[in-house]
Structure formats: C-alpha cells, structure tokens
Chain A
Amino acid sequence: MATVQRPVAVFLRCLLCVGALLGQFSAEAKEGKLVITGSSTMAPLVLEMGKRFESLHPGTRIDVQTGGSSRGIADAVNGLADIGMASRALQSQEGNLHGFVIAYDGITIILHDSNPIQELTDDQIKGIYSGIITNWKTVGGLDAPITVVNKAEGRSTLALFLHYFTLSNRDIKAHVVIGDNEQGIKTVAGNPHAIGYVSIGTARYDATYGVPIRLLPLRNIPATLETVREGTFPLSRPLTLVTKTEPTGLANTFIEFARSPATHDLILQHYFVPLAD
C-alpha cells in the first residue's frame, strides 16, 4: 500500500507547489504588469523604454506587442491592452481617449542615390503616385520609367501619406507594395528608378550606414531630425501612447517616464525626435 500511496502523495505535493507558484504569478500580474500593443513603428522604442523601466522598478513587467496603430487604439478601447501605441495624432472621433505624445516621426520620400532628381514638388509627387507621371524625364530626370513603391493597406504611414497628398489608395498606381520600412528601403536601394516613402528615422539611419538612398526635401524643407522636431517638416506625425481612461498607477508612472528626458537617448537611438522640453 505504502508504495502505491507514495507517488500519489508526491504528485499531490507537486500539484500544490505548482498551484502556489501560479497563484504568485497571477498576484504579480495584477500588481506589476503592463500590456502595451499597437504601432510597429513605436514598438522597438517602447520595448527599450520598457526594459529600462523594468530595471528601475523591480517586480514590474512591460509586455510590448505590435500590430499597427489601429490595433493599438482598438486594444486600448477593448481593454485588451493597458496602453495602446498609435503613430499618429488621435482623430476627432477618438476624442474620449487619452493620448500622450512621447516623440515625433517624419515620413520622407526616398529615391535611389544615383537618381539625379534633387527635389520634387507636392504636385509632382502626387502625379507620380497617381500614375499621371510615369517617366522621370517628365520631372527633369533621366529617360526611365518610374517604379512606384507603396505601403500595404492599414499601415499608418500609408494613411498619413494619403492624407497629406489628398489621395485615395485607389488612385495610387503602384508597382510594388511593401510591408515594413526596411523592405521599402531595400526595394528602393535595389532599383535606381524607384520612389518610395518611409519613416525619416529609419531612412536617416540606413543612409548614414551606406545604403544608397536619398531623402528628398518637401516644400523646400529638408527631411532631417531637426525639422521634424521643430514641427516645420510638413509630413510628420506624433508617436502617441493611448489609454481609455485617465491613466493611474503603473500606467501613469510609465507614461510619465516615457515622456521624461530619461528616455531621450533611447528616442535618438531609434532616430525619432524627442519632445522639445
């Protein structure tokens, strides 16, 4: 009998231990875990901020997941996330949400480095993207067909681009549709006659590391981190943390931390632009 009971007792004891452990985890989850979801532009930055925050506040856990600005806002509304990330300003119908800008990002038009074009007007860019201008010759460049690189549906970069140039996605005659910024940069870097648009941060980073792309100025304003910070670059966007209600407790502490100068070095590392103060 004893030989039979022994394993059972051991098993029960194990079960108890596991139960106790689980209980501890769930208690901790209530106290010190923040779920942040949303913009893939913001996720790498917020992840770094989260790591630093965790080391400053032992016992806390910041869980960052991507999925796009739309998901960030939806998750914040549904309560699936404590904080949403949106790489755009809140729209008017989202007025009941609370938004906190942590940094700025700009969208830049990029060309291959060997393309002689130094500047394009807004109308020319609009013409190229809507398929009216199909050869670089028309805008003073080489006699070569233009390859138009567009973003996939649902991306906030696409939404901001369309909004600025007052285009609808159905007007755009694209030759390549890309997912993330890096794929866009690789596509333009591999095609001397391509035009695309990506985050200034990513483009500046790659251009300084020798990727053959050139960032075009917009309305005579160069696409640099400085002009985005000053707010003079026309095609820029705020990176926003979103909560459903006025943030309290850990969420509030984290948002204050993200907006403080303590994270400016991280923001610069990711080629975004910190807040002015």
Chain B
Amino acid sequence: MAGGILLLVVAFLILESWPAFQDIGPARFFTDQDWYPTERLYLLTPMLWGTLWATLGSIVLAAPLGILSAIFCHYYAPPLLATWYRRLIELLAGIPSVVYGFWGLVVLVPVIGQLHPPGPSLLAGILVLFLMILPTIMLVAHASFAKVPLSYIHSAMALGLGRWAMIRNVLLPTARAGLFTGILLGIARALGETMAILMVCGNVVQTPSNLFDPIRTLTANIALEMAYALGDHRSALFVSGLLLMGMVVVFVVMAEGLQYRKLDDTAR
C-alpha cells in the first residue's frame, strides 16, 4: 500500500517534470548560466550545493553531539537527570519546523547579521537544521544503546574495563548500525526540511563561497515559487523535486547497505 503510493508519487513527479525534460532538456539544468525561470534560464546546481552544504554542516555538528549526549544520558548522568534530559530532547523532537524557522528568523538571523551582514545565511540554515536533527539522532542512538545486551556490559565490567574504555570498545561498535541509522534519518530530515530553511537562509540562488553567504535549497525553491509558477517554470520545479527524491534514494540505499554490513558482522 505505502509502496504503491510512493511509486505513484514518483510517477507523478516524472510525469510533471516531463514537459521540462522535453522543452528544456536535462543537460540545461546543469549547464545554464543561472536560475531565472521567467527568462528561461534553469540552472539547478547552486541549489543542489546549497542543499548539500546545509545538510552536511548540520550533520557534522549534530552527529557527534547527539551520540555524545545519548552516551551521557545512558551511562554518566544520574537517573533523575537522565530521565528529564531525555524528556526534554523528546519534546525538542516534537517542535514543528516552522517554530524553529520563526525563532531563527527573529533571533538567530539578527545575531548573525551583527557578526557578518546580511544575516540570513548558510550558517543560520546549518544551525537551525542542527537543532532539528539533534533530537532525532540522540533518541535513535539512545534506543540502540539500550538494545546492547546486558551480558556484554557485565563481561566488560568483569574484565575490569573503565567506563570510557567499555563505551569505546564494546558499546560503540555494537550499537554502530543503530547510530548510522540515526544519522541517516537526520540527513533525510535535513534534506527535506523546507519551512525553517526558507525563513533563515536568504534564498538567493548562488553557490555559497563561505558560511555567511545566503543560499537557496531545492526544497525552498519549490516552496517559494510553486504557487506562482506556470508552464516550463512549474515543470522545472518538479525537476528539482525529482532531484531531491534522487538524493533521498541515494541515502536510503546507503542506509540499507549499512544494515546488511551489520548483519554480516554479527554473523561472523
């Protein structure tokens, strides 16, 4: 059922972007001078880079911090603090993205603007995405640490390993696949995030040369222009949707690969 709907969505995306492929041709999405759809220029690469950099930046921040806070919560914090800490993170995971976006727009962007004008920038996008995917990564990491068999921990203790040595040598390798799954879920959420990114990134179509440059992501491009797009312009927006879908598929395939490697490991 769900698979069928997914296939229908993909078919719909291809169907809607077909006029663009016919009239514009797939190559021009990567070779045109710029993105001015009303002047018939349809370059998508700056937005592809925008999406990739924002996602990469947020994951580089969120992955270590998320996993470390799961470790803290699971093995270091006193039980009462750990419970409240986890509840707080769960709450954080439930906040709608538009709220993060609004906070970013009225608080974060002006602060960055004082440091280095104009303010709406790749950095703002990375920070907002970081806040959004941190809880996902932390909660998944927390769950996979909880699944590590107690006997492993007991054995490690019996061997006289210290707490950090046990975490590094026993727990992290055992929970590795779960940690990667959390990171990939985070990546998928960061790739697909639209509203918050639209509000804080500035949406200027350009390949960013530093952290303070405004960027536009593929998702923001669709949200910003879809309501007003006609003809080939509209079709080109579906192409950006298709491109995004392709990126998500690549990451899902990677996630699958990691799952299988985990099975191999445990079989060995």
Residues of chain A whose beta carbon lies under 8 Å from any beta carbon of chain B? 40, 66-68, 70-71, 74, 144-145, 147, 152-155, 168-170, 174-179, 183, 186-187, 190-191, 193-194
Kindly provide the distance from the CB of B111 to the nearest chain A CB, expressed in whole angstroms. Answer: 10
| Per-residue A-contact encoding for B184-216, CB less than 8 Å = 1, 0 else | 000000000000001100111100000000101
Q: What are the residues of chain A within 8 A of B204 when measuring CB–CB?
A: 174-177
Chain B residues closer than 8 Å to A178, beta-carbon distance? 203
B203 contacts A147, C-beta separation under 8 Å = no
Closest to A193 in B: B117
Indicate whether B32 reaches chain A with its CB closer than 8 angstroms.
no
Is B34 within 8 A of A177, CB to CB?
Answer: no
Sampled A-B contacts (24; CB under 8 Å): A40-B227, A67-B227, A70-B230, A144-B117, A147-B118, A154-B228, A169-B38, A169-B39, A170-B36, A175-B120, A175-B202, A175-B204, A175-B214, A176-B119, A176-B120, A176-B214, A177-B204, A177-B205, A177-B216, A179-B198, A183-B105, A190-B119, A191-B109, A194-B118
Whether the pair B38, A153 counts as a contact (CB closer than 8 A) is yes
- Does A190 lie within 8 Å of B225, measured CB to CB? no
Tell me, rounded to whole Å, the shortest Cβ–Cβ distance linking A213 to chain B.
14
Smallest CB-CB A-B distances: 10 pairs: A154-B228, A68-B228, A177-B203, A147-B118, A175-B118, A190-B110, A152-B224, A176-B202, A176-B120, A145-B117
**Alpha-carbon distance between A154 and B38 when the two chains are bound, in angstroms:** 7
**5 more A-B residue pairs beyond the given contacts A176-B204, A191-B117, with a C-beta to C-beta distance below 8 A:** A147-B117, A153-B36, A154-B225, A177-B204, A179-B198
Which residues on the A side are within 8 Å of B142 (C-beta)? none
B255 at the interface (CB under 8 A from A): no
Q: A186 to B106, Cβ gap below 8 A?
A: yes
Give the number of chain B interface residues (Cβ < 8 Å): 30
Q: Which of A66, A183, A186, A187 contacts B227 (CB 8 A)?
A: A66
Question: Within 8 Å CB of B106, what residues of A?
Answer: 186, 190
**Residues of chain A lying within 8 A (CB to CB) of residue B39:** 168-170
Complexed CA–CA distance, A182 and B199 (Å): 11
Q: In the complex, are the beta carbons of A169 and B120 less than 8 A apart?
A: no
Complex CA gap A14/B36 in Å reads 55
Q: Give B contacts to A, CB under 8 Å.
A: 34, 36-39, 105-106, 109-110, 113, 117-120, 198-199, 202-205, 214, 216, 223-225, 227-230, 233
Q: Please state if B105 and A187 are interface contacts (CB–CB under 8 Å).
A: yes
- Residue in B110, B224, B227, B228 whose CB lies within 8 Å of A177: B224
Q: Which residue of A lies closest to B105 (CB)?
A: A186
User: Which chain A positions have C-beta within 8 A of B120?
Assistant: 175-176, 187
- The docked-state distance in angstroms from the alpha carbon of A219 to that of B40 is 34
Could you tell me the distance in whole angstroms from the C-beta of B245 to the nearest C-beta in chain A?
Answer: 22
- Contact of A153 (CB < 8 Å), options: B110, B202, B228: B228
Contacting pair B113 A147 (CB below 8 A): yes
* Bound-state Cα–Cα, A68 to B37, Å: 16
Contacts of B113 in A (CB 8 A): 147, 190-191, 193
Residue of A nearest to B199 (CB): A183
- Give the residues in chain B near A187, CB-CB below 8 Å: 105, 109, 120
Contact partner, B109, options A170, A179, A190, Cβ 8 Å = A190
Contact between chains at A152 and B199 (CB < 8 Å): no
Q: How far is the CA of A190 from the CA of B109 in the complex (A)?
A: 8
Query: Are A191 and B225 CB-contacts (below 8 A) given A147-B119, A153-B37, A169-B38?
Result: no
Among residues of B, the one whose C-beta sits closest to the C-beta of A179 is B224
Could you say which residues of chain B place their CB within 8 Å of the CB of A183? 105, 199
Task: Closest B residue to A169 by CB, please name it.
Answer: B36
The answer to whether residues A74 and B230 also contact, given A144-B117, A175-B204 and a CB cut-off of 8 A, is: yes
Residue of A with least CB distance to B229: A154
Q: Once bound together, how far apart are the Cα atoms of A54 and B7, in whole Å?
A: 42
Among A145, A147, A155, A187, max chain B CB count under 10 A is at A187
| A40 contacts across to B, CB distance below 8 A | 227
